[in-house]
A and B are shown apart, each in its own frame.
Chain A
Amino acid sequence: MNATPDPETPVDAAFLRRWLEAATNAVDRESARLTELDSPIGDADHGSNIRRGFLAARTAVGQEPPETPGGVLVLVGRTLISTVGGASGPLYGTLLRRAGKDLGEEPAVSAARLRDALRAGVDGVAALGGAVPGDKTMLDSLLPALDALTGTLDAGGSAAEAFAAAAAAADEGAAATIALRARKGRASYLGERSVGHQDPGATSSALLVTALADTAREGS
């Protein structure tokens, strides 16, 4: 088996279930750090909130595993909306639910097709939260990730290379939020005092994209 899956390696329900496993593990492992990032500019609960949501999503998907990649994303999104609360519940829920709906009933899709669906999900997040790039939100890591994904795929890179590039761009985007002033969410109430802290939402978004890269790299 080739270590790098070829560009046409399909994204199926099993792939996204492995992604969910990796994402849940990452959120569980990093929960305390996310909460720590949330305390100077938020209310110190981001880690515990999304940890609760992803643990519930893993349980839901394990109990009744959907047969399509779209089905997995819709179920995860719906579970996050029902269990997380705060702003992250509706935002992450919308991201994944919208992406899943965009994939429809297809049993397996290409990396490029997943990218388009994620784009639809990110558009949904932007519409719901009303944020634009530079507002110090999850969009500041998700949008660079989508651009990197697109650039690598367009240049003929494999799915694994494209997801790895997306993860690196998401990390960079999250780190770049340190210098930004928050204009959305609870951190926005701090004005200039929000500068100098990494945005917890951009950080958790980067974790989810990194989980995608890890899943693609490890293959089945």
Chain B
Amino acid sequence: MKMLINVAENVVADALRGFAAAHPELTVDVEHRLIVRRGSPYEGKVGLVSGGGSGHEPLHGGFVGKGMLDAACPGEVFTSPVPDQMVRAAAAVDSGAGVLFIVKNYTGDVLNFQMAAELAEDEGVQVVSVLVDDDVAVTDSLYTAGRRGTGATLFVEKIAGAAAEEGAPLDRVAALARRVNAASRSFGVALSACSTPSKGGPTFDLPDGELELGVGIHGEPGRERRAMMTSGEIADVTVEAVVSDLNPDGPVLVLVNGMGATPLLELYGFNAEVQRALAERRIPVARTLVGNYVTSLDMAGASVTICQVDEELLRLWDAPVATPGLRWGC
């Protein structure tokens, strides 16, 4: 397996050094693994902090900036960051208005953010945590750690970020984040496994001619394996999974997200099929975002996330955002 790296142990630090060079508008602390919006803390503004394993870029570091996150804590590849990073991030972005932790529902992320919230509170920072758990592929939630947090993280970070930018107080920003999560569902499909630097090869074996339905974003296998399907067939399965769980009766945001190794040519083609499948169900689409946003290293495949929006959520979605990974209206 060929990778554009030096040694596996240093991939995150190397990437952060390169990220820092490309984005002087952000403060990158390579030693403590922290990406902070320059000028933080902003007076009177709620601080938004998220983080998770590396390998999902641009999530989360690429979403730091005006109208979205104030800080991001990158962990090792597919490994949640440690509490020290989050405590440091919270201190860096707290203006006294409090800090919102946006946490994807994976055991490691949940435990580390939970410890960090307690430590930050000890230091006098008011912290509220919201959990993102949008993945409908995990149906058996009584016997699992609950649904995974995947693509909806982008919706939560964008919409809560816009509210914080407008000066909304902590409880209101947190409530909005929870509303967005509750209104969002995702489903992912892998056409190939991904390769982690520490393993040096694919994390599972997926033969040619087969695909995995219901994958997460960590190179873990999905719930079911099937013979390869066309883009239209995959869109039908995916949209059905998402829509049958959410039952939207109004306009939705659509994220057609690449897992890292699927070209935009294929993603746009897939989006055409997703739009058709939604139209067949008479679900109006308010906005669509297509691209690699919540990735899984070099995994081929895509996920679909939809979020049912009202006027307020749509206005916050449309609000200006200026980050390395998402930018409009600025």
Name A residues whose Cβ lies closer than 8 Å to a Cβ of B. Answer: 35, 39-45, 47-49, 52, 81-91, 128-129, 181, 183-186, 188-191, 193
Contact = CB atoms under 8 A, between A and B. Distances in A.
Contact of A45 (B78, B115, B221): B78
Contacts of A83: 82
B172 interface: no
Interface in B100-159: 106-108, 111-112, 114-115, 137-138, 140, 143-145, 148
B66 to A, nearest CB: 29
Given A42-B220, A47-B198, 16 more contacts: A40-B204, A43-B219, A44-B198, A44-B219, A52-B76, A82-B83, A84-B79, A84-B82, A85-B79, A85-B112, A86-B112, A87-B107, A90-B115, A181-B143, A183-B143, A188-B144
B199 A35 contact: yes
A81 B115 CA distance: 9
A82 B223 contact: no
B127 to A, nearest CB: 17
A52 B13 CA distance: 15
Contact of B198 (A40, A41, A48, A91): A48
Contacts of B199: 35, 39, 44-45
Contacts of A49: 76, 79
A84 B145 CA distance: 20
A181 B221 CA distance: 15
Interface residues of B, number: 37
Majority SS at the chain A contact face: helix
A81 B82 contact: yes
28 contacts: A40-B221, A43-B79, A43-B220, A44-B196, A45-B78, A47-B198, A48-B76, A49-B79, A81-B82, A81-B115, A82-B84, A85-B79, A85-B82, A88-B108, A89-B80, A89-B111, A90-B112, A90-B115, A184-B107, A184-B145, A188-B145, A189-B144, A189-B145, A189-B148, A189-B216, A190-B223, A191-B144, A193-B221
Interface string B185-227: 0000000000010110001100000000000101111010000
B82 A45 contact: no
Contacts of A184: 107, 145
Nearest to B112: A90
A91 B204 CA distance: 26
Nearest to B219: A43
B108 A85 contact: yes
B98 interface: no
B196 to A, nearest CB: 5
A129 B107 contact: yes
Interface string B68-98: 0000000111111111100000000000000
Contact of B76 (A35, A85, A183, A189): A85
B84 A86 contact: no
Contacts of B80: 85-87, 89
A35 B203 CA distance: 10
A3 to B, nearest CB: 40
Closest 9 CB pairs of A and B: A86-B108, A188-B144, A90-B111, A87-B108, A87-B107, A43-B218, A44-B199, A86-B79, A48-B198
A45 B196 contact: yes
Nearest to A187: B220
A190 B107 contact: no
A83 B76 CA distance: 10
B179 to A, nearest CB: 25
A185 B79 contact: no
Interface string B46-69: 000000010000000000000000
A89 B108 contact: yes
B143 A190 contact: no
B221 to A, nearest CB: 6
B75 A85 contact: yes
A183 B145 CA distance: 7
B76 A39 contact: no
Contacts of A189: 137-138, 144-145, 148, 216, 220, 223
B269 to A, nearest CB: 28
B149 to A, nearest CB: 12
A115 to B, nearest CB: 26
A43 B78 contact: yes
A35 B198 contact: yes
A48 B9 CA distance: 9
A35 to B, nearest CB: 6
A184 B78 CA distance: 17
B161 to A, nearest CB: 24
A93 to B, nearest CB: 8
B220 A186 contact: yes
A52 B75 CA distance: 13
A184 B8 CA distance: 28
A86 B75 contact: yes
Nearest to B107: A87
A82 B82 contact: yes
B13 to A, nearest CB: 13
